[in-house]
Amino acid sequence: MRLGSLLHRLAVLLILAAALLPAAARAAERGAVPRTILALVDLREEGIVRRTRIHTMAEMPLNHLGLTVAYWNVADGLPDLSRYPDLRGVVTWFTNEPFADPQAYIAWASAAMDRGLRFAVLGQAGVRGRSNGQTVPLALSNRFFARFGLRDDDGYVDLTYRARPVVSDAMVGYERPLIGVLPGFALYRKTDGRYDSHLVIRRNGDEATDTHLVVTGPNGGFAYSGYVRHYDAELNRSLWILDPFAFFRTVFATDDLPKPDVTTLSGRRIYFSHIDGDGWRNVTEVEPYNKDPNNKGGVIAADVVRREAIEAFPDLPVTVAPIVGDVHADWKGTAETRGAASRLFALPQVEPASHTWTHPFRWSFFADYTPQKEAVFNERADDAPRRGYFDELLGRRKATAPGHEAVGEVSDIGRYSIPRAYLERPFDLDQEIGGALDYFTRMAPEGKKAVLVQWPGDTSPFSAAVAATRKAGARNMNGGDSRFDAEFPSITAVPPIGLPVGTERQIYSGNSNENTYTDLWTNRFFGFQNLINTVRNTDSPLRLKPFNIYYHMYSGQKTASVQALRRNLTAAREAEIAPVMASTYAAIADGFYATRFVPDGERRWRVTDRGDLNTLRFDRASFTAVDLNRSTGVLGQRHHQGSLYVALDPAVAEPVVALGETARADNDPPADRPYLVQGRWAFSGLVVDGGGFRVGAQGYGRGEMAWHVPEPGRYAITAERGGTVLWQSEAEVGADRRLNVAIDAAAIRPLTLRVQRTSR
């Protein structure tokens, strides 16, 4: 048995060595800083990736630290690491024993650590037993725990009233302190002084009983189950006990990693707004529109939203995504609903997008679609043209049809009574995605194109649906439903940037829409005004999300919902933001996953494959600044919350960012050439010209901006387009070298700014 076991382990190690060497070779060849964390999940327990603990809780902090996450289902065996050339480490969060052969997993993990991969082990380690319930020899499981400086003493304490933390540093008690009766715990003794203990529990005041439950060190970190999060079953809420940012930052050594940032542009917080077309044709109850003598049938919600929330805020861009079925003459569209779309698309601050052709509710229903599968629902299709959205499209019961109660396909649409809003014709994925985008592009004025699909229904598209957006040359977004407020008082309700869907990726919206504030549009129609709490909490003390106002057209139906919407828009108008279209944010988010950093000297990186992402962040950088003399393609820099935000020039395909030191963080770092500190607009193509510069600019609203210039004095500023001066002024720059400008010129169409020093 011993010889067989030895030969088995040797075989596993040889396989692993063969798998790991190509990955290491490719990483060395590319020279890129590894950013990918491989998440091992057990989908036999957690079902699908979007519901796993790692995706719902851990991935957002990992994204914030500049890391991407790839998922592997351990039910399919152990992964071939040669598939992940960009690998930085591994994260696990098991609650059971998922491995039929823990010995093979321990050998696999040990070989990975020997190659320099670091492990973050949350909850159960998965090495104390087999998936069939058989125990594992302690000597075997301790080979794994030894990698984290621990020894499992094969004991468990469930009566903890005499147990107290004797070490509990800032990594513990993040959202919930260790108060009251402590959770039960296994006994882990520390055996390696290279590891730091962040939580040590002692029983009966006896040092000999110390158990180490949160540790970090050379191979990564371990945080024991019960001390990672607190779950309140009554409220169905989780709170972090462990500080995930500190834990993952330490485990994966991210302090010196440049972080692609999707929250900030031109040194300001990104703002975008997008509207799903649901409720487009609902009749409004809002005065005075509900008494319009010229429209005896009533004014539709889409027109109310246009007048109250879009035309009234021309400085705030918005992406509008109707449903084709609501406007097309061959479906449920009318001259009124089509006119509403045309009037919206004609506004300069409006971007056309698509909420699909027939509004699928349960996307998984269509992954293996046949017309016969859907035929039983046809009698549920509602021909009433003007009913409330949730009366018309959603059901309160699980779907059944007479004589079909036992048909599995019928019941597999969750809370929805029909699988999509419009059932008149068979489902066609190409029409649903590309066809809808083309339709709205044709409706829009020349020069505007619909390039964003906003997922409807359960916002859980299957892989082919996401692939169809790429095929159509478009981006995709929705899902996530970020909340962080009194009702959802934890970052566990703040999702990551996106979700892997097969080989594709779904991009989540920045915030939740009004559904979650109004109990699925059944009451508290004023509730969406509480969005501002999530907006504040996701900006401080850490900027975790952009400022996103996301809603549906039925917000134009109720007086309270219109007022709530206008409050949010007013708050956006008063905030320091950089407004962009929703498709721009989706492109920035896609860039997060693609960006690569190639080291190019001391604290210097070449940035490749970033797409539309134009901001990098360096954390713990109060006394760090960009060394502009060693950098290329850098527009500017700004310190915020202890981090350094670096603005990249979109005109430079592969910028180089080099860091140096600065004496203080409360002043702009000195430099001998101009650079952007912050601005409302987006900038591109910076050219330094003697004592001044020129740069392209595009944006929404008044062009507020601040530039650092090398010398004080008087500066002339002009905004021009095609050789025509649109605006000009002068500004005095003092000893702080800060040039503050507010340009009164429309920049939705790009223009050129010229800044020239005229006198000392």
- Interstrand relation of 547-552 and 268-276 (parallel, antiparallel or unpaired): parallel
Mean pLDDT over all residues of the chain? 91
DSSP state of 184: P
Between CA 714 and CA 707 the distance in angstroms is: 14
- Interstrand relation of 604-608 and 615-618 (parallel, antiparallel or unpaired): unpaired
Tally of helices (H runs) and strands (E runs) in the chain: 19, 38
- Spatial CA neighbour of 621 closest among 643, 648, 604: 643
307 token code pair: 């007048």
**pLDDT given at position 435:** 98
Name the band, by pLDDT with cuts 50, 70 and 90, for residue 291. Answer: confident
- Gyration radius (Cα) of the chain, Å: 28
Is 276's pLDDT higher than 50?
yes
634-645 pLDDT, tens per residue? 999 999 999 999
Between CA 637 and CA 618 the distance in angstroms is: 11
Half-sphere exposure of 312 (CA within 13 A, CB side): 15
Is 602's pLDDT higher than 60?
yes
- Interstrand relation of 36-41 and 724-733 (parallel, antiparallel or unpaired): unpaired
**CATH architecture type of domain 2-257:** 3-Layer(aba) Sandwich (3.40)
The secondary structure of 90-111 as a DSSP string is EEEEESS---S-HHHHHHHHHH
Is 127's pLDDT higher than 60?
yes
Is 17's pLDDT higher than 80?
no
Give the dihedral of Cα atoms 427, 433, 435, 436; nearest 10 deg. Answer: 100
**pLDDT given at position 665:** 82
Give me the amino acid identity at 345. F
Is 13's pLDDT higher than 80?
no
**What is the H or E stretch that residue 753 is in?**
strand 751-759
Is 344's pLDDT higher than 90?
yes
The secondary structure of 522-572 as a DSSP string is TS-TTGGGGHHHHHHHTTSSS--S-EEEEEEGGGGS-HHHHHHHHHHHHHH
Using CB atoms within 10 Å of the CB of residue 4, give its burial: 0 to 12 exposed, 13 to 18 middle, 19+ buried: exposed
**pLDDT given at position 22:** 37
Is 397's pLDDT higher than 80?
no
Name the band, by pLDDT with cuts 50, 70 and 90, for residue 666. Answer: confident
**pLDDT given at position 30:** 55
CA atoms 711, 712, 713, 718: torsion sign:
positive
Using CB atoms within 10 Å of the CB of residue 75, give its burial: 0 to 12 exposed, 13 to 18 middle, 19+ buried: middle
Is 389's pLDDT higher than 50?
no
Average pLDDT over residues 306-317: 98
Beta-carbon contacts of residue 602 (< 8 Å; ≥ 6 apart): none
Is 412's pLDDT higher than 60?
no
Between CA 8 and CA 516 the distance in angstroms is: 53
CATH class of the domain at 264-363+427-586: alpha beta
**pLDDT given at position 380:** 58
**pLDDT given at position 748:** 97
Is 286's pLDDT higher than 90?
yes
**pLDDT given at position 404:** 27
Q: Give CA separation, 168 vs 179, 200, 215, 713, in Å.
A: 12, 7, 11, 54
197-228 pLDDT, tens per residue? 999 999 999 999 999 999 999 999 999 999 99
What are the structural domain ranges in the chain?
Answer: 2-257, 264-363+427-586, 590-759
Between CA 214 and CA 148 the distance in angstroms is: 10
With a pLDDT cut of 70, the percent of the chain lying above it is 91
**pLDDT given at position 676:** 98
Average pLDDT over residues 100-104: 97
**pLDDT given at position 117:** 98
Between CA 229 and CA 664 the distance in angstroms is: 37
Average pLDDT over residues 236-241: 93
Count CB neighbours of 376 within 10 A.
Answer: 17
Residue keyed to tokens 């002339």:
716
Is 400's pLDDT higher than 90?
no
CB 318 within 8 Å of CB 350 = yes
Is 76's pLDDT higher than 70?
yes
**pLDDT given at position 381:** 53
Comparing 255-259, 373-377, 528-532, 581-585, the range with the smallest average pLDDT is 373-377
Between CA 496 and CA 654 the distance in angstroms is: 26
Q: Give CA separation, 453 vs 208, 270, 502, in Å.
A: 60, 20, 18
List, in sequence order, the alpha helices (H) in 52-137.
Answer: 53, 59-64, 102-114
Average pLDDT over residues 447-461: 97
**pLDDT given at position 383:** 44
Average pLDDT over residues 75-87: 95
Between CA 731 and CA 16 the distance in angstroms is: 64
**pLDDT given at position 759:** 83
**pLDDT given at position 390:** 43
Is 413's pLDDT higher than 80?
no
* Of residues 755 and 3, more confidently modeled: 755
670 token code pair: 């000195």
Half-sphere exposure of 6 (CA within 13 A, CB side): 3
Is 327's pLDDT higher than 70?
yes
Residues recorded for the chain? 760
Average pLDDT over residues 320-331: 97
List, in sequence order, the alpha helices (H) in 131-213.
Answer: 138-145
Average pLDDT over residues 274-297: 89
Backbone φ and ψ of 636, nearest 5° = -175, -175
